[in-house]
Amino acid sequence: MNDPAVLPEKTARLRPPRLSVHLFGLAVVLVWGLGLVLIPTPAARGQAALPTVRLVAPTDGQVFTAPATVPLAAQVDDDRRQIKAVEFDVGTRRNSKITRLSHPPYRVTWQPVMPNGPGARYALTALVTYADGSRARSAPVRIQVVPPAPTPPPTDRPGKPRRWWVYLTPKEGKALFRSPFFAAIRGDADRYYLNGLDVPRSALDHASRYVNRMGAAQELLSATYFALKWGKYGGRADPELAPYLERIAANWLEILASGPAALYTENLPQHEGMLSGHNEKAPFVPGWYEADIALRWWMLGALPSYDAVRDDLPGDVRATVDTWLATLGDRLIANTYDNAFNRGTSAHGQAQVIALVLQDRERFERAFDGRHGFRDPLRWLTYPPTTRRGQEACRGLFPARPGLTAQLGGDRASDGPHGVGIVSHTFQALAVFAHAARNGGDPRWDVVASEPGRKRFQEVFDTWFAVAGPLNESFVRYCRCLENASNPGGRAWTTPMLLDEKLWSGLAFFDRRFLGIGTLSATDTARWTWPGPNLRGGDVGVARPRIGQEALWKERARLFLSLDKPVGPVPVESGTALSGEYFRRYRVDR
């Protein structure tokens, strides 16, 4: 009985096995007797369920040279669940998404806009989202975009005196500063553009709100800078000028980052990611698609306004912009459209304006005297009313007068906007040529002032002044007839859309009567619509402050004509009144 190995039956007991609990990292270990049970913690279960994603391109610490194209590539290591999307982000702010991809491979290229100029640093991440809503973000990859190594500009190297003034002369800058319109010009520059644009990038064609506002920004900021520099400070630098110059430089670098000139194409719809036709809501894809169209309304303003600041920009910025413009100019002058077509005058006019801004006489005169040059623009401004088959009913609606273009007359007549656009592009370019010619350039560049051309040009001016007044209604009927014939069953083009400041301001450089015509009024903003055939209707996004830019166009013409004070409304002989209300009514229904 004293043997401990033998116990009486009534005293025998079953002792429960000992339980101990041990926590090791992400698991709980239960020791139950001689057995072990491993139980994952909730944290471990959650971590195992989440997908993992990592950026495989670019590499951390990689340095790119502006304007940069950064490859982005993500790899999802956990493929047990259905992936809904992979998103690439920059930074941690709201609205920092670069793009979102729904299908593999998760690769894309990105061009940093660099709001703070070259030298900016970026933290890039990838965010994967599963179909069940779970998400995981990659570790950040940090890159830097640095300015290119300074290279000599292609023309007019720093330190060499300029040859001519393209945009404004110092005398005109002083007069602009004293102008009663300068408050409106500077007001729009400060209010809408000095702190950057408030619209995102979209498809880079002329219907893009981004393109239109960037063009207005560069012109208003440059004109304000130049007027303050010469009118207030006598050509000296001053801290008040610095914010304007910095913003102008940053905008030009953003323009370059939006797409290298090498990506220019003449056919927008062929590019992946673009919608059919012109649409400001088409997604952004790098490149200036149909740049002859995208930048056509920069010809009188944004492009020549670079001349107002070019001497004062940092050397590396100036060299970068010069090179980009020269490359773009080469592509534009090679455009295969003849100047009898809207796209021809647009592309070739821009190329010649760019050459003057770059102070490159050889480049300009090679284009000016070449096949697509503007040495004799009357060649495409002297067509009779339509002789095109199928448009016989239109012939008697408008009299035969000098000034009709190929797309308004002859056997090529098609519609109003393209035909009027040729006149706008031609005289906007000729205005820039004439300003350079009379302010340091060659007098022969001012083709309107040459003899015997002056008399023939005056006949053209008389026609378009009549279109603004007594012949307005017949001109609109004629254009609507052309449009109905060339697009049977479709909606009529918005013919009066181009009977606005873009037309009258170019003509005003040569005939003061046009200074009193147009939409310029106290109206601060305006919008226009474009419901044309085969196009997506609705706002195409000008929606910009108007009085400042349009006042600037008219003031530049007034100063060029050496008039002492702004010109008021000009009376017409008879017919339709030149009211702002009429010209604000851009849309014409059939």
pLDDT tens column, 306-347: 999 999 999 999 999 999 899 888 888 887 788 998 889 998
Q: Does domain 170-584 have CATH number 1.50.10?
A: yes
Which ranges in the chain are annotated with CATH 2.60.40.10? 50-146
Higher per-residue pLDDT: 162 or 457: 457
pLDDT score of 528 more than 60: no
pLDDT score of 255 more than 70: yes
Q: Which whole-number Å values give the CA distances from 565 to 179, 181, 500, 517, in the listed order?
A: 8, 11, 22, 16
Higher per-residue pLDDT: 462 or 13: 462
Q: Which whole-number Å values give the CA distances from 418 to 43, 275, 341, 498, in the listed order?
A: 66, 22, 8, 9
Label residue 286 by pLDDT band (50, 70, 90): low
Beta-carbon contacts of residue 286 (< 8 Å; ≥ 6 apart): 69, 109, 111, 258, 259, 260, 263
Phi, psi of 358 (to 5 degrees): -80, 5
Query: Does the pTM of the predicted model rise above 0.85?
Result: no
Mean pLDDT (the chain) is: 76
Q: pLDDT for 480-493, tens place per residue? A: 888 887 766 555 55
Q: What is the pLDDT of residue 110?
A: 87
**Nearest to 172, CA basis, from 568, 517, 557:** 557
Q: What is the pLDDT of residue 494?
A: 45
Lowest-confidence region among 78-82, 95-99, 399-403, 406-410:
78-82
Average pLDDT over residues 477-505: 72
Q: Does domain 50-146 have CATH number 2.60.40.10?
A: yes
pLDDT score of 165 more than 80: yes
Exposure letters 147-186 (e unless 16+ CB within 10 A, then b): beeeeebbbbeeeeeebbbbbbbeebbbbbbebebbebbb
pLDDT score of 542 more than 90: no
Q: Give just the sign of the alpha carbon dihedral 338, 341, 347, 352.
A: positive
**Nearest to 255, CA basis, from 317, 333, 176:** 317
Average pLDDT over residues 527-532: 30
Q: What is the pLDDT of residue 571?
A: 36
pLDDT score of 576 more than 60: no
Q: What is the pLDDT of residue 268?
A: 43
Q: What is the pLDDT of residue 331?
A: 82
pLDDT score of 58 more than 60: yes
pLDDT score of 217 more than 90: yes
Beta bridge partners of 107: 73
Q: What is the pLDDT of residue 565?
A: 56
Q: What is the pLDDT of residue 334?
A: 82
Which ranges in the chain are annotated with CATH 1.50.10? 170-584
pLDDT score of 437 more than 90: yes
pLDDT score of 426 more than 90: yes
Higher per-residue pLDDT: 173 or 10: 173
Helix/strand/coil (H, E, C) string of 179-237?
CCCHHHHHHHHHHHHCCCCCCCCCCCCCCCHHHHHHHHHHHHHHHHHHHHHHHHCCCCC
Label residue 158 by pLDDT band (50, 70, 90): very low
Token pair for 403: 């000034």
Distance CA 364, CA 367 (A): 5
Label residue 554 by pLDDT band (50, 70, 90): confident
pLDDT score of 581 more than 60: no
Q: What is the pLDDT of residue 538?
A: 32
Q: What is the pLDDT of residue 423?
A: 95
Q: Which whole-number Å values give the CA distances from 59 to 70, 124, 141, 356, in the listed order?
A: 10, 10, 7, 42
Q: What is the pLDDT of residue 451?
A: 66
Q: What is the pLDDT of residue 144?
A: 86
Higher per-residue pLDDT: 448 or 114: 448
Higher per-residue pLDDT: 454 or 242: 242
Share of the chain above pLDDT 90, in %: 38
